[in-house]
Structure 1
Amino acid sequence: MSDKKIHEVELLAKLIKTIGDEHGISQVLDLGSGQGYLSRVLAYKHGMRVLAVDMSDIQTKGAERFDQRALKALSLSPSSTTQESNLKHVTEMVTPENVGDVLSKWGGEGDNDDGRWIVCGLHTCGDLSTSIFRLFANSDQIKWMVNVGCCYHFLSEEGPQPGFPMGDWLKGKGYQLGNSARVLACQSPSKWTDPVIGQQSFNQYFYRAVLLHTIVDKGLSQKAPAIGMVKRKKTYLQYYQTAMKRLDYEADAISETEAESYYQMYKEQNVDKQIIVLWTLRVLLAPVLESLILVDRWLYLKSLSDSENKSSVDANDSDVKMWPLFDPIASPRNMCIIVSK
Structure 2
Amino acid sequence: MALPKAFQNPKDFFDECIAFLKEYQYLYKFPNTDILVQNVLEKIEVDNLENVDVFDKNFKLPAFDILEDLFSKLERLKAIHNVFEEINGLENSVQVPVSPKKRHEIVYLAKEVKGVCEENECDVVVDFGSGLGYLDQIIFETSHLKVLGLECNSSHYVGAKKRQSKYHANSTENVKYIKHTINDNSDSQIGEYLKDKFLNFNGFCIAGLHACDDLTVVALDLFLKMEKAKAMVIMPCCYHKMEQEEGIFKNFPLSNCLKEVFEKENGFQFMGVPFLRLGAQPPCLVEDNLEDSVFNLLARGVLQLYANKHNCKLKRNKRKAVKTKSMDRNFETYIQDACTGFSLSHNSEPSFLKDKVDSPEAGNLSIDLDEIRSIWRENSSSMVQKKAAIFILLQNCLQPVIENFILYDRIVYLKEKGLKNCQFKRIVNERISPRCLALLAYK
Identity percentage over the alignment? 25
* SS of equivalent residue, structure 2 residue 285: helix
Please tell me whether the aligned partners of residues 33 and 52 of structure 1 are also in contact (alpha carbons under 8 angstroms): yes
Tell me the equivalent position of 1:154: 241
Q: Per the alignment, in what secondary structure is the counterpart of residue 185 of structure 1?
A: helix
Question: For residue 307 of structure 2, what is the amino acid of its counterpart?
Answer: I
1:5 aligns with 2:102: yes
Using the TM superposition, give the Cα deviation of residue 325 of structure 1 relative to its aligned residue in structure 2, in angstroms.
Answer: 1.7
Residues 1:51 and 1:200: Cα distance change in structure 2 (over 3 Å):
farther
Counterpart code for 1:184: L
Alpha-carbon displacement from aligned partner over 1:26-47 (angstroms, at most 9, x marks no partner)? 2111111222221221123432
Maintained 8 Å contact 2:108/2:427:
yes
Pair 1:199–1:189, CA change in 2 (3 A)? farther
Q: Which has the higher contact order (CA 8 A, sep 6+)?
A: 2
The partner residue of 2:205 within 112, 118, 122 is: 118
What corresponds to 1:185 in structure 2?
A: 279
1:331 is aligned to 2:423: no
Q: Report the alpha carbon displacement of residue 335 of structure 1 after superposing the two structures with TM.
A: 1.7
Q: How does 1:205-224 map to 2 (within 5 A)?
A: 205-217=297-309, 219=310, 221-222=311-312
1:31·1:53 contact (CA, 8 Å) conserved in 2? yes
Match for residue 111 of structure 2? 14
Q: Is the contact made by 2:176 and 2:197 (CA closer than 8 Å) also made in structure 1?
A: no
- Letter paired with 2:181: M
CA distance in 2: counterparts of 1:229 and 1:134, whole angstroms: 35
Partner Cα distance (2:156, 2:322) in 1 = 22
Following TM superposition, by how much is the alpha carbon of 1:2 offset from its aligned partner in structure 2, in angstroms? 2.1
Q: Judge which range, 24-33 or 44-53, deviates more.
A: 44-53
* RMSD (Å), alpha carbons: 3.0
1:105 aligns with 2:200: no
Determine whether 1:131 maps to 2:218.
yes
Offset, 1:296: 0.2
CA–CA separation in structure 2 for the residues paired with 1:192 and 1:14: 30
Structure 2 residue ranges without an equivalent (≥5): 1-97, 345-357
Q: Quickly say closer, same or farther: Cα 1:333–1:231, change in 2 above 3 A.
A: farther
Matched pairs, number: 315
Counterparts in 2 of 1:214 and 1:231: CA distance versus 1, 3 Å: closer
1:285 alignment partner, one of 398, 401, 416: 398
Distance 1:237 1:63 in 2: 44
Distance 1:169 1:24 in 2: 33
Q: Give the SS at the match of 1:5.
A: helix
CA contact (8 A) 1:184 1:282 kept: yes
Alignment of 1:312-323 (within 5 A): 318-323=420-425
Residues 1:241 and 1:103: Cα distance change in structure 2 (over 3 Å): farther
1:165 aligns with 2:262: no
Any gaps of 5 or more consecutive residues in structure 1?
72-79, 307-317
**TM-score, normalising length from structure 1?**
0.80
Whether the aligned pair in 1 keeps the contact of 2:242 and 2:249 (CA below 8 Å) is no
Residues 1:35 and 2:129 aligned together: no
> Which residue matches 1:247?
342
SS of 1:163 mapped into structure 2: coil
Q: Secondary structure at the match of 2:176?
A: strand
Partner of 2:81: none
